[in-house]
């Protein structure tokens, strides 16, 4: 398996623009997580899904953020409109019950909002 695949790896955009980050989890994993990492706040859980259903979105900063998982092999995190304070590295991770909660992370998407 190629692991968790995220795209784009780097995104530079201007304030007010829409940003869409994409994630392909490991085949067979039934949990998918979106994390955000910044120097100031560390690693924050934004939202996670189980069997494509959102379970906990309490970490989503505000209504500008939305996440979807239309099928077991694809998820998106969208920011609209983007703001400079959204600049961070966004990680997607997946896991399975059979894998005993071990998260496999993608390489991350580094977002810079100017």
Partner 1 sequence: GNSVTQMEGPVTLSEEAFLTINCTYTATGYPSLFWYVQYPGEGLQLLLKATKADDKGSNKGFEATYRKETTSFHLEKGSVQVSDSAVYFCALSDAGGTSYGKLTFGQGTILTVHP
**How far apart are alpha carbons 114 and 110 in whole angstroms?**
13
**How far apart are alpha carbons 105 and 74 in whole angstroms?**
14
Which of 31/65 has CB closer to partner 1?
31
Which of 63/102 has CB closer to partner 1?
102
58 binds partner 1 (CB under 8 A): no
56 binds partner 1 (CB under 8 A): yes
90 binds partner 1 (CB under 8 A): no
What SS3 class is residue 86? Answer: helix
- Minimum CB separation of residue 80 from partner 1 in Å reads 25
**How far apart are alpha carbons 86 and 94 in whole angstroms?**
23
Of 19, 30, 22, nearest in space to 5 by CA: 22
Residues near partner 1, by CB under 8 A: 4, 31, 33, 42-43, 45, 48, 50, 55-56, 91, 93, 95, 97, 100-108
């Amino acid at each position: 398996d190629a692991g968790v695949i995220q795209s784009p790896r780097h995104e530079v955009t201007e304030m007010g623009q829409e940003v869409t980050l994409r994630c392909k989890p490991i085949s067979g994993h039934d949990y998918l997580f979106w994390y955000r990492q910044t120097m100031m706040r560390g690693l924050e859980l934004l939202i996670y899904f189980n069997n494509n259903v959102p379970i906990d979105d309490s970490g989503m900063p505000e209504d500008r953020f939305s996440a979807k998982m239309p099928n077991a092999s694809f998820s998106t995190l969208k920011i609209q409109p983007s703001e400079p304070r959204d600049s961070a590295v966004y990680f997607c991770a997946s896991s399975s019950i059979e894998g005993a909660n071990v998260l496999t992370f993608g390489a991350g998407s580094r977002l810079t909002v100017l």
